[in-house]
Amino acid sequence: MAKIGRRQLINCNWVNKNPKGEGVIVSAIPEQSDMLFWFIENYTKHCSLPLVFADFGLLEKDRLYCKQYGEILDVSDISWENQYCGWMRKPFVCLRTPFQKTIWLDLDIEIKSDLKEFFQFCCNGNIGLAEDTYQNNSPGNSIFRENIPQDLKIPDTGVVVYEYGNKLIKEWAIKVANNTNQKYKGDNQVLGVVCYENKIFDYNTQIQKKADEIDFGGNFISSPYMSDNSGFVFHCDGVDKNLLDNL
């Protein structure tokens, strides 16, 4: 194991010693608070799994709103500086799941169907991921591909399905904690390297994506996960909330 600081090492451990059941954790950051209502509306329409909001510093009014629909997980002790800024905090939150089986969702995920079928992809030590076709189709010298093998498929970490104790999640956190020189630009590149080192080369055998990214006015929308034409979720990465209302 690489040497990391004591504070980071604490964040790289599984926290809940008695995980139970199945559920969903969603990121809840103040910068995206306008998407909370949109996310919850879609979630409650299609999914009944227990929901946990990873609170990265919500305003009190938003926190109270979230409490009507799920539990609040305080993650304020996870550093907001350097390698922990933004999306790099994701693996540390995943380690704090209260569930035996968890679906991590970014807040910009549009729920389009029940998510229970996703849990089949995290059995027997597997991790449920889809390929990030937008980043993988970028030119070889793209910022997305800096410092990673050219044959590595970058995963889309907007949806991560895992079981408590999965070694890949802990290795993901450790590698992020060691990313102090910002060798890797995003948490998905880091997880891609972890999977690559564990000889996991094809995510499509676990969570299918129907098609390539759809161009939408200069932004991009990840294609639907799973198999039918409507998809189970959309990852609306990089799309303004006002545009989402018109999809």
Quote the pLDDT of residue 190. Answer: 94
Query: What's the pLDDT score for residue 11?
Result: 81
> What is residue 144's predicted lDDT score, i.e. its pLDDT?
78
pLDDT reported for residue 236:
57
What span, in angstroms and rounded, lies between the C-alpha atoms of 133 and 237?
Answer: 12
- Using CA atoms, how far residue 133 sits from 116, 141, 195, 217, in Å, is 24, 16, 16, 18
Query: In the prediction, which pLDDT does 7 show?
Result: 53
pTM of the model: 0.83
Question: What pLDDT is recorded for position 146?
Answer: 85
* Per-10-residue mean pLDDT, the chain, length 247: 51 93 93 87 94 93 96 83 65 96 91 86 87 75 82 89 96 89 87 94 54 35 41 52 42
pLDDT recorded at residue 8: 60
In sequence order, what are the residues at sequence separation of 6 or more whose Cβ sits closer than 8 angstroms to the Cβ of residue 71? 50, 51, 52, 53, 98
The pLDDT value given to residue 63: 95
pLDDT of residue 233: 60
